[in-house]
């Protein structure tokens, strides 16, 4: 008989203890310790585990290890390749998270079809939909191929048998919270099951050299459900973001062992599936009003891609003793800081004004180069003076009111020129080391006062 033990596992971080705690010692969360049965079982000598244990290697000096460039599997979608760092790496483990209904399954099914065009075998395992439901989606997307295998299964042992039988180049598991290991007594989706199943998929990916993609559910706070250990085990973590009221989606990397985490991919959701957006600046500016106070266009860098986005500010008087501040798309603390600079260094009386700032289109910006655009949009709404519809603003604002230099100014200016803008307001210190292109005027400023004079007068 197998020996049965009881332990308490935190549902947030995976910390386990033989006794119950009201507050988890690992992550300090309250009421997250759940009792689970830990059943010790003798080893069965499974194929993947035995293959992994037999691959014994001796430690070598690092200078004697041969440097080999990892081959990449082109996903067939340029935006996805950009976020992954050039494509899927064989043997890698990728975790994709996002809100329900955002388009994760649609994205992966389209990627699977693109991979089959390269004569690659893809195994798509669905734990939430039947094979007929997956076939209906594939019919709508036109993702039909002899090399795309679909399996509806949640038992990890049966999934391993299917992998041994098909020997796919790419494995997709939708989703990791639905898979269970028969030897683990916890329910599917629990910390023990998620940790055990992810560990098995990691060994499968490394031993069989299979590029594996796991789909993860998202909690109410927006984080991937399960312990944080799940994100540490995988090689790449991607978040599929967007709002249901908008047609576009943003794919963002928060962890990538094979590429940069600053890149984003932008898609547009249509009836026939996701369509790549090659020029996102046009998408975010196509509904921009002209001649309206508070509207300013800023140039932000997302990885290696320049992106022009509209900022909208609304400043109105309030009768309450504490004015309201609200920011959507940028950090709230950044907005309050810039408003304090405007009041102290420029002389704008904003202490009795409500202020609302929105990044049009719902995109999130966290780059300091948009600070000057925030300052000008707030001042424009406060003075009720519209900025020129052909201006782009770039610059970081310091606490003393100075406008600090930013990186890759030449790429931002060329993107503005390509979209028909005629003037760029940027820091004076960023004018060194490059020559502005013909057809666009570049105005250098040293402080916020000069920038407001150039943009609003």
Report the CATH number at residue 141. 3.40.50.300
- Would residue 175 count as lying in a domain? yes
CA distance 240 to 217: 11
CA distance 240 to 181: 27
Give the count of beta carbons closer than 10 Å to the beta carbon of residue 174. Answer: 22
Q: Report residue 24 as tokens.
A: 């988890």
Can you give the pLDDT at residue 39? 56
CA distance 105 to 126: 9
Can you give the pLDDT at residue 56? 59
CA distance 445 to 403: 7
Which DSSP letter does residue 436 get? P
* 98 is an annotated ligand-binding site residue: yes
- Would residue 53 count as lying in a domain? no
Cα R_g (the chain), whole angstroms: 26
* 102 is an annotated ligand-binding site residue: yes
- Would residue 164 count as lying in a domain? yes
Can you give the pLDDT at residue 119? 93
Can you give the pLDDT at residue 52? 46
182: domain range?
71-278
The two counts, helices (H) then strands (E), for the chain are 12, 21
Instruction: Say whether both 364 and 419 belong to one domain.
Output: yes
Instruction: Say whether both 259 and 292 belong to one domain.
Output: no
E runs forming strands in 26-120: 33-39, 93-98
- Would residue 264 count as lying in a domain? yes
CA distance 228 to 32: 14
Of 90, 55, 53, 84, the C-alpha closest to 69 is 90
206: helix, strand or coil: helix
Residues in the chain: 457
Instruction: Say whether both 338 and 427 belong to one domain.
Output: yes
Instruction: Say whether both 224 and 322 belong to one domain.
Output: no
Of 170, 172, 174, the C-alpha closest to 121 is 170
Can you give the pLDDT at residue 243? 66
Can you give the pLDDT at residue 31? 86
Instruction: Say whether both 290 and 258 belong to one domain.
Output: no
Domain limit, last residue, from 278, 311, 330:
278
- Would residue 367 count as lying in a domain? yes
The H-or-E segment that residue 445 falls in is: strand 441-445
- Would residue 161 count as lying in a domain? yes
Cβ–Cβ < 8 Å for 210, 242: no
Q: Report residue 139 as tokens.
A: 């019919």
Instruction: Say whether both 163 and 288 belong to one domain.
Output: no
Can you give the pLDDT at residue 14? 75
Half-sphere CA count of 285, side-chain side, radius 13 A: 23
- Our count of domains for the chain comes to 3
Q: Scanning the structure block, which residue is given the tokens 């079809």?
A: 113
CA distance 308 to 16: 48
Strand order in the sheet with 391-393: 325-328, 353-359, 305-317, 295-302, 391-393, 423-427, 441-445
Interior/surface letters 70-109, b for 16+ CB within 10 angstroms, e for the rest: eebbbbbbebbbbbbbebbbbbbbbbbbbbeebbbbbbbb
* 303 is an annotated ligand-binding site residue: no
- In angstroms, what CA-CA distances link 236 with 34, 233, 239, 256, 384? 29, 9, 10, 4, 46
* 17 is an annotated ligand-binding site residue: no
Instruction: Say whether both 261 and 381 belong to one domain.
Output: no
Can you give the pLDDT at residue 53? 47
* 101 is an annotated ligand-binding site residue: yes
Domain limit, last residue, from 278, 307, 324:
278
* 100 is an annotated ligand-binding site residue: yes
Give the count of beta carbons closer than 10 Å to the beta carbon of residue 241. Answer: 20
Instruction: Say whether both 293 and 356 belong to one domain.
Output: yes
- Would residue 56 count as lying in a domain? no
Domain limit, last residue, from 262, 278, 294:
278
pLDDT means over runs of 10, the chain (457 residues): 72 82 88 74 47 62 80 91 92 91 92 95 94 93 94 94 95 93 84 87 93 86 65 90 76 90 87 88 86 94 89 94 93 95 95 94 88 97 95 96 94 93 95 92 96 93
Instruction: Say whether both 254 and 315 belong to one domain.
Output: no
CA distance 249 to 81: 15
Instruction: Say whether both 269 and 381 belong to one domain.
Output: no
Cβ–Cβ < 8 Å for 306, 333: no
Task: Report the chain's terminal Cα–Cα distance, integer Å.
Answer: 85
Instruction: Say whether both 431 and 312 belong to one domain.
Output: yes
- Would residue 63 count as lying in a domain? no
Instruction: Say whether both 296 and 205 belong to one domain.
Output: no
């Amino acid at each position: 008989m197998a020996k049965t033990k009881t332990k308490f596992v935190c549902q947030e971080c995976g910390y386990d203890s033989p006794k119950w705690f009201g507050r988890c010692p690992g992550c300090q969360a309250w009421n997250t310790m759940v009792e689970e049965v830990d059943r010790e079982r003798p080893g069965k000598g499974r194929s993947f585990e035995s293959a992994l244990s037999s691959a014994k290697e001796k430690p070598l000096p690092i200078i004697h290890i041969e440097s080999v460039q990892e081959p990449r599997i082109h996903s067939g979608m340029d935006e996805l390749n950009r976020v992954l760092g050039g494509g899927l790496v064989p043997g890698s483990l990728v975790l994709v998270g996002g809100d329900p209904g955002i388009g994760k399954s649609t994205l992966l099914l389209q990627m699977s079809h693109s991979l089959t065009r390269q004569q690659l075998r893809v195994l798509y395992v669905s734990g939430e939909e039947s094979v007929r439901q997956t076939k209906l989606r594939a019919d709508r997307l036109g993702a039909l191929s002899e090399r795309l295998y679909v399996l509806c299964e949640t038992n990890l042992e049966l999934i391993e048998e299917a992998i041994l039988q098909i020997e796919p180049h790419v494995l997709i598991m939708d989703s990791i919270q639905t898979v269970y290991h028969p030897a683990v007594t916890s329910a599917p989706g629990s910390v023990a099951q998620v940790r055990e199943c992810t560990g098995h998929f990691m060994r499968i990916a490394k031993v069989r050299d299979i590029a594996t993609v796991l789909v993860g559910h998202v909690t109410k706070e927006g984080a991937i459900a399960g312990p944080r250990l799940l994100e540490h085990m995988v090689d790449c973590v991607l978040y599929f973001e967007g709002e249901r009221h908008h047609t576009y989606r943003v794919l963002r990397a928060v962890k990538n062992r094979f590429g940069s985490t600053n890149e984003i991919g932008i898609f547009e959701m249509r009836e026939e599936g996701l369509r790549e957006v090659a020029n996102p600046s046009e998408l975010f500016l196509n509904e921009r009003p002209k001649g309206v106070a508070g509207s300013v266009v800023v140039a932000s860098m997302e990885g290696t891609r320049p992106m022009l986005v509209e900022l909208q500010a609304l400043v109105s008087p309030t009768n309450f003793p504490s004015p309201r501040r609200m920011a959507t798309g940028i950090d709230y603390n950044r907005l309050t800081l810039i408003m304090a600079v405007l009041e102290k260094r420029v002389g704008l009386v904003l202490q009795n004004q409500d202020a609302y700032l929105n990044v049009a289109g719902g995109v999130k910006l966290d780059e300091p180069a948009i600070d000057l655009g925030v300052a000008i949009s707030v001042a424009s709404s406060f003075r009720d003076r519209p900025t020129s519809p052909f201006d782009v603003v770039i610059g970081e604002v310091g606490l003393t009111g100075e406008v600090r230099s930013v990186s890759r100014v030449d790429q931002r200016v060329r993107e503005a020129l390509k979209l028909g803008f005629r003037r760029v307001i940027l820091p004076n210190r960023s004018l060194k080391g490059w020559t502005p292109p013909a057809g666009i005027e570049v105005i250098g400023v040293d402080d916020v006062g000069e920038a407001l004079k150039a943009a609003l007068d």
